[in-house]
Amino acid sequence: MGRRSSWDFQKAEQERKAKAKLNPWWRGVGCLLVIGFGLLGYLFATWFINQNAVNNWLHIPALLMNPDIPVIGELLGRGRMVMLIIGLLFLLIAFGIVNVAWAILFPVQPGELDVETPKMKDVRRKRRMEKRRKENLRRRF
């Protein structure tokens, strides 16, 4: 008979599933981050459009500020298209910063089913051995 019974395997499986469950509070935190970053992106975009009109940091074509297409012009006129683009860029950059910070603070730990990383081979030693082998062959002939 083996060292572990079926009950041990079942108990280990239950413990693994309990660890894998995500706390529902984290979903709420993620939802608040999406809403908060979206709001910050909108506020940043409005500030940027107003300051750009005063300081002329970046030339924004008039067709982007007020498109000539009838349906789109009504929806995205008065700079809303540029605000949408700037807001989405802000959102992407903010989430990128949060993801990098999270990865640095909480690195992924390998689990029980992960394979170990392969060991690096000494390439210099291998090249040295090949060079010696070639030199020995030259000396023989």
Q: Which residue has the higher pLDDT, 46 or 134?
A: 46
Is residue 85's pLDDT more than 80? yes
Interatomic CA distance for residues 64 and 60, integer angstroms: 7
CB atoms within 10 A of CB 107: 7
pLDDT for 5? 67
pTM of the model: 0.58
| Structure confidence at residue 2 (pLDDT) | 55
- What DSSP letter does each residue of 62-89 carry, written as one string? HHHHS-SSHHHHHHHTTTHHHHHHHHHH
- 112: CB partners within 8 A, 6+ apart: 16
Question: Count of CB atoms within 10 A of residue 67's CB?
Answer: 17
What are the tens digits of pLDDT across the range 32-66?
Answer: 988 999 899 999 999 998 898 899 888 888 877 77
